[in-house]
Amino acid sequence: MTTDNPTVRSIGVIGLGAMGSGMASSLRRAGHQLHVCDVRYEAAQAFANEGGTACKTPAELAQSVDIIVSVVVNAEQTEQVLFGKDGAAAQMKPGTLFIMCSTVDPNWSVALEQRLNDLGLLYLDAPISGGAAKAASGQMTMMTSGHADAYAQAGHVLECMAANVYKLGDRAGYGSKVKIINQLLAGVHIAAAAEAMALGLREGVAADALYEVITHSAGNSWMFENRMAHVLKGDYTPLSAVDIFVKDLGLVLDTARATKFPLPLSATAHQMFMQASTAGHGREDDAAVIKIFPGITLPPAH
């Protein structure tokens, strides 16, 4: 699709979850022409009602756009988006840019770049961080790497979605490496925050008082402040689920294992999230890792 304004791009967004819907809204707000696709077609239709075009499959979307932003959960879903039934790859015009925003094994991202380049397509390794609110306001962080021609095709599109766009290397893999290191810290911080709150509850400290003191003291972390607020409310609606950290810390450990690099805190946090998942909390908010601790009474939902 062509337009009279060269700054307006025809962009497809695949995956309209907590992050993808916000990113698509940011692109639409910037004036770009949006095509959207989600496994829940009603989600794509709801988005299109406010502006844009809903597509039923990645293949349909790929026929109409110059750039595809994929915001699905993992590498397996990305494979389906590109190469599965009704996948996008076979329908993408030569020179189309695929921006991959999932948290994946860096080696898989390196291989995907080569696969797409062999098809005459461009690729950016571009994991994201910041949460749904920052995605919706265009204030999130993107950790990107890729060839110069991929960045050239992206133009200013990345900046429409993110306040912080980091260019970390001239080929795929570096963006994904930095993202999993971020996830190492995020997972360990959530696990530590849960452990601290659980100890406070076990010792009879009022949860709200503990939260107030810690968030104004040196032991605070962004994750304690954000996730323990969910515990205080008794609200485990999954903004980021326990099973996300089972996956992401698993990627962290797999990467380190390849070079026999020890990650003792990551390994412990991973076990905590796996324990929570096995206990039936995998689809709850990742703050539900606190539920693995025995002998405590958690604040009720309110």
CATH 1.10.1040.10 residue ranges of the chain are 177-292
Q: Tell me which residue of 261, 208, 214, 264 sits closest to 231, measured CA to CA.
A: 208
**Using one digit for the tens of pLDDT, what is the confidence trace for 208-261?**
999 999 999 999 999 999 999 999 999 999 989 999 999 999 999 999 999 999
**Is 80 exceeded by the pLDDT of residue 5?**
no
179 among known catalytic residues: yes
pTM reported for the whole predicted model: 0.93
Query: Looking at domain 177-292, which CATH architecture does it have?
Result: Orthogonal Bundle (1.10)
Among candidate residues 179, 233, 247, 291, the one labeled active-site is: 179
Rounded to an integer, the average pLDDT of 121-133 is 95
Question: At 63, is the pLDDT very low, low, confident or very high (cuts 50, 70, 90)?
Answer: very high
- Per CATH, the homologous superfamily of domain 10-172 is NAD(P)-binding Rossmann-like Domain (3.40.50.720)
CATH 3.40.50.720 residue ranges of the chain are 10-172
